[in-house]
Amino acid sequence: MPATASGNSLRERGVRITRQRQILLELIDGSGKHLDAEELYRLAKEKDPKLNRVTVYRTLKMLKKGGLVDELDLMHYGGDQHYYETRLKQEHAHIICLRCGKVEEFFGDPLQKLRRQVEEHFGFHILLTRTEIGGYCSHCQALRERELEQAVEQDAPAERPRKRG
């Protein structure tokens, strides 16, 4: 169970495993999606209504610092918040459809090659990497074209969804 693994690894560093942290770790590990702080908070409150938003932020910060989770921006698709995922062994890129918001993950040798080349070329010691690719998924490409045609007809440009506003 990944949550337990993280728990152990944290415990060894002298970090206390509180009820709140267990809940949050399980959610980050268990949910198949990339959660942002607010969504994580919402889910966590279902398990413990007293759990505070601040605790979510503090826990995320700690996990980030400890290298247990990675922080993503997902091309700011949904706004300026950050998304989180448990750190995998293998590097991968995130591919975000700017129309439907679907996120794909790409594991491939260009990423490892990039890493190696950067280390060699600059003598750089890499700690974290983030590769994000935005555009339209195969499904949305046709739909997008139709949208644009309609937009021209109606002179009403379609904006992508935002949380604010």
Position 76 contacts its own copies (CB under 8 A): yes
Q: Which of the residues 8 through 37 are near DNA (CB under 7 A)?
A: 11, 14-21, 36-37
Q: Examine residue 127 and tell whether it contacts its own copies (CB under 8 A).
A: yes
Residue 4, binding choice from DNA, its own copies, none, Cβ under 5 to 8 Å by partner class: none
Contact between 71 and its own copies by CB under 8 A: the answer reads yes
Kind of pairing, strands 93-97 and 69-72? unpaired
DSSP β-bridge partners for residue 69 = 86
Segment interacting with its own copies (CB under 8 A) among 25-33, 34-42, 49-57, 113-121? 113-121
Return all residues near 2 (Cβ < 8 A) that are at least 6 apart. 29, 86
- Decide: 60 and 21 in contact? Cβ < 8 Å: no
- The DSSP call for residue 54 is H
In angstroms, give the least distance from the CB of 71 to its own copies: 8
CA distance 95 to 139: 14
Applying CB under 7 A, which residues contact DNA? Answer: 11, 14-21, 36-38, 48, 50-55, 57-61, 78-82, 162-165
